[in-house]
Amino acid sequence: MKRFTIPALLVFCFCTFFTLNATAKTQLTYSNFFPPTHFNSLLAEAWIKEVETRTNGEITINYFPAGTLTKAHQTYDGVVQGIADIGMTCLAYTKGRFPVGEAIDLPMGYESGVQATNVANGVLEQFDPEEFKDTEMMFLHAHGPGLLHTRDKEVRTLEDLNGLKIRSTGVSGNTVAALGGSPVGKAMNETYQMLQKGVVDGSVHPVETNKGWKVGEVVSYMTQNFSTAYTTTFAIFMNKDKWNGLTPEQQKIIREINAEFALKHGQAWDEADKEGMEFFLEKGGKVIPQSEEESKRWADKTASVIDDYIKAVSKKGIDGQAVVDFIKANL
């Protein structure tokens, strides 16, 4: 009887162990600074649902929008430290921290969100930046052309911009300075009140922001400075230990989802730009086109921003010229 019972018990324990491990769930947290109703927040929730569905519930993710788990500028470090397991943030909110990533935001004259997003992920794949190595990067996305918006003053020429206080972040602040404005480095969630109260005279942002963050309610003019249009790069990343704790099959599934959602974000930026323009015009906003001559004047002024970037990152051992050349070749 003992000879039968002991082996049977061992088999039972063995089967139970593997059954429990096969059905074990991984619970993760996702921190995002976008408000719950913003399309980037809705896409984050859709990404979560895809991960949960395609892993058959093996991975579940609790979502924290609007900076409720980590503030925008703290999200990357928060994920490294394990405060959040996954995060989405704007790289420009921690200026100097991501030197290769900063090149994407330079005033290259971007035309669409899809274009900028493709460039961003191309840079990620081509250069595999050391600056991201303490997390597992999911993907990058970037908005369409970032343009100048002002509250009370029409800006048609460089002289009109001279001395105006313009809300900007990261590299876009350097662009504002090169054009003669005074950059004020603040996150997007502070922009509405700053404009409303007259703390700043304007803001550089993509057209979608006029509706997505309701900024179209507190600006009156949009200068279409397409020749110096910048983008802002957003990153989604996972805690390294959490990523390494996933099975190879789970990692494969997430990589496939990432490729799909990078494109979705790029397309959504472009659709949101259309809606942002409609909202801006509905609120009585005025669009100011640039002449070819004036457009060239602005581009000539911002060429120094690109040159300064190349010089600055070379001191960190980064071939900035190679990154810039890659971006220009892929526009």
**How far does Cα 196 stand from its chain's mean position?**
25
pLDDT in tens, 74-109: 999 999 999 999 999 999 889 899 999 999 999 999
pLDDT in tens, 102-158: 999 999 999 999 999 999 999 999 999 999 999 999 999 999 999 999 999 999 999
Contacts of residue 205, defined as CB under 8 A and 6 or more positions apart, other chains included, come to 146, 147, 149, 167, 188, 191, 213, 215
Please report the pLDDT score of residue 5 as a whole number: 52
Residue-number span of the structural domain to which 262 is assigned: 27-142+232-273
* Whether 133 and 259 share a structural domain: yes
Residue 175 structure tokens: 């662009």
Residue 13 pLDDT > 50, yes or no? no
Residue 299, in any domain of the structure: yes
Confidence of residue 44 (pLDDT cuts 50, 70, 90): very high
* Whether 269 and 306 share a structural domain: no
Q: Among all chains, which residue has been given the structure tokens 């509905």?
A: 282
Rounded to 5, what percent of the chain is helix, strand, coil? Answer: 55, 20, 30
For residues 2 and 31, is the Cβ–Cβ distance under 8 A?
no
Q: How far apart are CA 237 and CA 255, in angstroms?
A: 12
* Whether 118 and 136 share a structural domain: yes
pLDDT in tens, 271-304: 999 999 999 999 999 999 999 999 999 999 999 9
* Whether 181 and 314 share a structural domain: yes
Strands 86-90 and 221-223: unpaired
Residue 10 pLDDT > 80, yes or no? no
* Whether 120 and 150 share a structural domain: no
pLDDT in tens, 185-219: 998 889 999 999 999 999 999 999 999 899 999 99
Residue 6, in any domain of the structure: no
- Strand, coil or helix: 86: strand
Residue 196, in any domain of the structure: yes
Q: How far apart are CA 109 and CA 146, in angstroms?
A: 9
Residue 20, in any domain of the structure: no
Nearest alpha carbon to residue 276 among 203, 217, 318:
217
Residue 245, in any domain of the structure: yes
* Whether 209 and 82 share a structural domain: no
**Kind plus residue range of the DSSP H or E element containing 205:** strand 202-206
Residue 4, in any domain of the structure: no
* Whether 293 and 248 share a structural domain: no
* Whether 37 and 129 share a structural domain: yes
Contacts of residue 76, defined as CB under 8 A and 6 or more positions apart, other chains included, come to 87, 89, 94, 97, 135, 235, 237
* Whether 113 and 186 share a structural domain: no
Nearest alpha carbon to residue 60 among 45, 70, 69, 49:
49
* Whether 221 and 126 share a structural domain: no
Q: How far apart are CA 233 and CA 238, in angstroms?
A: 17
Q: How far apart are CA 212 and CA 323, in angstroms?
A: 31
pTM: 0.88
Per-residue DSSP letters for 4-19?
HHHHHHHHHHHHHHHH
User: How many domains, the chain?
Assistant: 2
Per-residue DSSP letters for 203-245?
EEEETTHHHHT-GGGS--EEE--GGG-B--EEEEEEEHHHHHT
Residue 138, in any domain of the structure: yes
How many residues appear in the chain?
Answer: 331
Q: How far apart are CA 279 and CA 273, in angstroms?
A: 10
* Whether 88 and 202 share a structural domain: no
For residues 118 and 268, is the Cβ–Cβ distance under 8 A?
no
Residue 17, in any domain of the structure: no
Residue 119 structure tokens: 């460039």
Q: What is the pLDDT averaged over residues 316-322?
A: 97
Residue 237: which CATH number?
3.40.190.170
Strands 182-185 and 221-223: unpaired
* Whether 303 and 193 share a structural domain: yes
